[in-house]
Amino acid sequence: MKELIEPELDENSQVTLQKITADNFSEICLLSHTLSEAQRNMVADNAYSMVEAQFSDCAWYRGIYADDVPVGFIMLHSGLDDDELEYDGIMLWRFMIAEPYQKLGFGRKALVQVIQYLKRKGYPRLYNSCGEGEESPFEFYKKLGFVPTGAYMDDECELVLDITHWQEQEE
């Protein structure tokens, strides 16, 4: 019988971005249910995000894993399509880490991998937006080098990271 206890994860766990398939779709969807109410109000449900991605030619998404345990979800957007998002870089459209795995560095490691990849590919900027207030990821993004643009998308503060000059900082 398969062991039902999850392996012990810590800040030394290896973080990878994995394609979402029929085999892991459900476990990525369930991660949304671990978030606090305040966090759920700041990020779309993973299932909704993956369905939305099916209607966008510009969406790219992956499950975030730590030592092969699903811990989060990331989705990027590039270019312009029917959803009317258009940037001179890439948009971090969705990003979440399940509540039990927050504050272990998994989100940072995943985002650093994405930033490094985008930098190698020559993308100049990574955009994002987030709510402000209780349990907001605003400070998390600032520590990675994102700065407010002064614009707002709906109720969310728009942020941008200059990938061209970005260098990973130790936390």
pLDDT in tens, 28-72: 999 999 998 988 888 899 999 999 999 888 899 999 999 999 999
Distance CA 37, CA 72 (A): 17
Whole-model pTM above 0.85?
Answer: yes
Bridging pattern class, strands 125-130 and 156-162: antiparallel
Return the DSSP state at 138. Answer: H
Contact yes or no for 113/17 (Cβ under 8 A): yes
For residue 126, which of 106, 147, 154, 143 has the smallest C-alpha distance?
Answer: 147
If pLDDT is split at 50, 70 and 90, which confidence band does 84 have? Answer: low
Q: Residue 10 pLDDT > 90, yes or no?
A: no
* Percent of the chain scoring above 70 in pLDDT: 89
Give the strand order in the sheet containing 156-162. Answer: 15-18, 59-66, 69-78, 90-97, 125-130, 156-162, 147-153
**What sections of the chain are H helices per DSSP?**
25-30, 37-40, 46-53, 106-120, 138-144
